[in-house]
Each structure stands twice: as C-alpha cells, then as structure tokens.
A and B are shown apart, each in its own frame.
Chain A
Amino acid sequence: MERPPGAAEPKVELRNVGLRYFGREGETEALRDISLAIAPGEFVAIIGQSGCGKSTLLSLISGILGPTSGDVLIDGTPVAGPSRKVGYMLQQDYLFEWRTILENAVLGAEIQGADMTRARERATQLLTRYGLGQFLGHRPRQLSGGMRQRVALARTLVTGPDIVLLDEPFSALDSQTRLALSDEIAEILRREAKTAILVTHDIGEAIGMAERVVVLSRRPGQIKSDRPIRFATPDGRRPAPFAARNAPEFNGYFNTLWQELEVHVEG
C-alpha cells in the first residue's frame, strides 16, 4: 500500500538514521543512512541476513536505543525513550516463570502504572480470544511454545499500542506451529488495524505476512530495496500468510528477494 502524495503523516519515520556500537575492540557500524516511512496500519517486513542490524532497527523504533545520527519519529515526534504507542514482541516469549499466565499478560500494564482492573479484564479477554481462557492461572512451563507466544502477543497488546514490532517472533517455534501462528497473528494485527513491523530472515514469512518488504544489506545495514507485495485475489483482499504461499505471485517475489539478499552459504 503506497502512500499517496499529501496523505496523512507517516506513523513511523526514520530520517538518515545511523547507529554505531562501541566496544573495547573497536566500533561497529550497524546501520547506515536508513530512511523509511511507514503509514498508519501498514504491515512492513524487514529482511536481511543475521547480523545486518534488523533487530537494532526495532530497538531504535522502540526507543530502548538511541540513534548515533539521524532521527526516529513516531507520529511526527522524535522518539526519546520507550513509548506507550509501541509494543515489542521479542524472539522468544520470555514469560516470567514465577508469574501465572494472566500475571504475565498484564506485566506491561503493571510497569506502565495502568489501571490494573481494566488491564486484567483486557488480558482475560485477549487470552480467551486466543484460546487460552482456561489457562489464566497456569504457569508458563505448563504451556506449549505456540501457546506461550500467544501469551506474549496478549502481553504486547494489553497496553494498547498503535505500533507492534515483531522481532522474529516465530523463530523459536517448530515449523507447523510457526505457519499456523503467523496466520493467526497477521490476522489479529490486521483486524486491530495496528501498524506492524516484522523483522525476519525468512523470505516466505515476509512475503506471506507483509504488504511491503524492505531488504537490508549486510553490515553496515543499508536499505537495498523496498517493494510492495500484492496478490491478485478474487475478493481483492489480502490472502492469509499460508494461502499466500500458494499464490502465483509468491515465487516471483521469493526469487527477487532471494537475489537481493545475496545469500552466501558459508563454511
């Protein structure tokens, strides 16, 4: 979905962002001159090889890291620390084993000092919708990987963010759960009209879930390409990630992105 000229300001905008890490062995340039605008409600995937700075990009947008140069803006305002508009789903669920499922789901609300009665209501509602209604009092270790990642999604959404950052959220799951859950999460985020940014190294996952795919080069990460993903469907709606894999356009996108990624198998 390309932004028509004169449309509303971007939800997330990066202007010439660069980031360098400093260490005793020297400095590492992780990102160089990244400029990117993401419209409200857009679902963007960022792909690149490991170590290309894709996760760093999310840390910048979430405000837990500041850029070395350039600006990161949310709704036109520069980011100065973690914002309540942003929810962040990490690579693993990182549920706290000493909390119950419900207590885990309200962690963000608790940290932000939100109204806990309402947070618990909302968490219960979300968990029930994700099929976890009977597990509210359970401990994380009693749940399967897919269920745990759904709790993590509920924990992210309880605080009501407009923007959801997904950092390879399915990488710890087995491949069946992974496909099923990416369908489910893409559907949930679309229905709630969230702006979503997915970081992954899985090309198929990116094409299946996002309506726009940005390719980052190897370190220092720079934007190599930025292309919309469109599928011709009879009802004009976007197919679910799993169905998208069978769409005729899928292979074309896959091959283009594969070439742009310049995958070299090493060793």
Chain B
Amino acid sequence: MSKVEILTLAPPSAEYAEWLARERRNRLTIRGTQLALLLIFLILWEVLPRAQIVNPLFTSYPSALWPTFLELLKSTPQSAGILTHAWATVLATIIGFTAAMLIGIAIAAALWWWRSLHDVLDPYLVVANAMPKTAFVPIFYIWLGATLSIYGMSLAISLFVTILMIYNGFQGTDPNKIKLAQTFGATKSQILAKVVLPGSVPTLIAALKVNVGLSLVGVVVGEFQSANLGLGYLIQYGSQIFKLNIVMTAITILAIVSSLMYLAISWLEAVVMRRR
C-alpha cells in the first residue's frame, strides 16, 4: 500500500546498502563530534584552573563537582539536601509553565473571540512581552511574598510570549476550514472547539517548548531574591560565601534538569504529531 512496504519487500541493492552505510557513518560522526566538544570543554575546565591559568577560586573544576554533590546530598538542620532544592525548582517550573499555558490559551481564545479586544490590547501585549520582566523581581517579592513571587516571576516571564504565540496560531487557522465548518452551520464555539483548537496543536507544543525554558529562568531569578530553597537560592548562597563548588554543582544540575524537561516535551511532540 505505501512506498515503505515496497522498499522493504524488494531486496536492497548494493547502492542502497552503501547509501545506508554512509548515512550511518554521518550520524555517528556527528554524535562523536558532539561528545568530543563536551569532553574538550570539560578538560579545559579541569586543566586551566589546575595549571593556574585561570583562578580556580572563580571557576572550580569538574572533578570537584561530584564530591560537592555527594556532600550537598546530605541535609543538615540548617540546610536542605540538594535534591530537595532541585525538586523545589522543578516543581515551581512545572507550576509556572502549566499556569502560563492554561492562562495563555484562555486569553488567546478570548482575543480570538473578540477581535476588538485584541485590537485594543495588542500594543500593550507587545510592550509587556518586550519588557525585561526580571526588573519586577524585587517588587513581586514585596507584593506576593517569598513563595508566590517565584511563581509570579515564572508566569510573568512566560505568559506574554505564550499569549502572542498561541493567538498567532489561532489566527493562522485556514479560513477555508472555518468556512467549511460554517457551511454546516457551526457556531463560534464549535469553530473554536472543532477547528481552531485542534488545528493549533503544533503551535501549542511550540509554545510549551519556549515556555519550559522561560519558566525555569523565571523560577531561578525569583529564587535569587526570595527563596531559602531551590537551585537559584543555592547559587546565590554559594556565591555569597564564595564557594564556587556549590554554584557550579547547582548550575550543572540546572543544565541537566532543563535538558530533561526539553527531552520530555520533544517526546510529547513526537507522540502527538505521529497521530496526525
């Protein structure tokens, strides 16, 4: 039925086998180069401070991270374990981007529903999106208190771009698909539910991808100011007492966390798009 079946049924020609081998070699070369780059980075990070070319006080080194990590795992009466810190950051990020998605979809739908509302609010949304939201960290701390200000910052950073992206996705719905629904007498809410929303799923996933990164930024910046828990707090604390080992360990965990969340979204994207 499909082309793929025909290909697999026919015995592969020598040229095809060669092409496959070349493709495979290319893929391996790229993976290898990626790993090599990471290794070079780690080696330079390890060697330069040890050779006193850069001050180890400022950079720490990779081999110091693991012992620091093990040490930070233990929670003391004064301080929580590093996994508790990481979990606090992850949880706040999840709450942040979930809220940004839900509120963003609701607001984008309202803007789609009432065209004039969009026309009125459009310049404000654009400016709000362009504003450096981190300027509000101290104010949010005053307004919302220690915990809520972190969620608030996460939401503030990701919400406006979410609204703009999703609204553009809604607006980009093929007008002929809407016309088709109208020929069957569809109401506005049916058009939204059966045409606009399902048609915008790729946009929603793109928005989610952007969101996860931005929410994490918001949470970490919020934690700098107000938290006594979370990786942002740990970074702040470590730099204040000049223990770069702690800072670098926290940043490394942050890198791992954001990679994992990005992978999770990519997996979700693959699952959703395969069904289309």
Using a CB–CB distance below 8 Å, which chain A residues touch chain B?
62, 64, 81-84, 86-88, 90-92, 94, 96-98, 107-108, 110-112, 139, 141-142, 159
Contacts and interface: CB of A to CB of B under 8 A. Distances in A.
B185 interface: yes
Contact of A98 (B2, B182, B276): B276
28 contacts: A62-B183, A64-B179, A64-B182, A64-B183, A81-B185, A82-B182, A82-B183, A84-B185, A86-B183, A88-B183, A90-B176, A90-B179, A90-B180, A91-B176, A94-B174, A94-B176, A94-B177, A94-B180, A96-B198, A97-B276, A98-B276, A107-B181, A107-B184, A107-B194, A110-B194, A111-B186, A112-B184, A112-B185
B199 A111 contact: no
Contacts of A81: 185
B176 A92 contact: yes
Given A94-B177, A141-B276, 16 more contacts: A64-B182, A81-B185, A82-B184, A88-B180, A90-B176, A92-B176, A94-B176, A96-B177, A96-B195, A98-B201, A98-B275, A107-B181, A111-B181, A111-B184, A139-B276, A142-B2
B190 interface: yes
Contacts of A82: 182-185
Interface of B: 2, 174, 176-177, 179-186, 190, 194-195, 198-199, 201, 275-276
A139 B179 CA distance: 21
A152 B177 CA distance: 12
Contacts of B194: 107, 110-111
A92 B201 CA distance: 22
Contacts of A142: 2
Contacts of A96: 177, 195, 198-199
Contacts of A87: 183
A66 B191 CA distance: 20
- CB-based closest 8 A-B pairs: A82-B185, A88-B183, A108-B184, A111-B184, A111-B186, A64-B182, A98-B198, A94-B180
Contacts of A90: 176, 179-180, 183
A227 to B, nearest CB: 29
A62 B183 CA distance: 7
Contacts of B185: 81-84, 111-112
Nearest to B198: A98
Contacts of B198: 96, 98
Contacts of B190: 111
A158 B185 CA distance: 14
> Which of B2, B182, B184, B199 has the most CB atoms of chain A within a 10 A radius of its CB?
B184
A83 B113 CA distance: 24
A92 B190 CA distance: 21
A142 B1 CA distance: 10
A196 to B, nearest CB: 15
B205 to A, nearest CB: 13
A178 B180 CA distance: 21
B183 to A, nearest CB: 4
Contacts of A139: 276
> Which of B174, B186, B201, B275 has the most CB atoms of chain A within a 10 A radius of its CB?
B186
Contacts of A62: 183
Nearest to B186: A111
Contacts of B199: 96, 98
A92 B180 CA distance: 10
A32 to B, nearest CB: 24
Contacts of A108: 183-184
A94 B195 CA distance: 11
Nearest to B275: A98
> Which of A92, A96, A141 has the most CB atoms of chain B within a 10 A radius of its CB?
A96
B208 to A, nearest CB: 17
Contacts of B2: 142
> Which of A87, A90, A139, A141 has the most CB atoms of chain B within a 10 A radius of its CB?
A90
B76 to A, nearest CB: 53
Contacts of A86: 183
Nearest to A62: B183
A262 B186 CA distance: 39
Contacts of A88: 180, 183
A141 B2 CA distance: 12
> Which of A62, A139, A141, A142 has the most CB atoms of chain B within a 10 A radius of its CB?
A62
A112 B67 CA distance: 66
B134 to A, nearest CB: 38
A238 B2 CA distance: 39
A62 B174 CA distance: 20
A112 B190 CA distance: 10
A94 B183 CA distance: 13
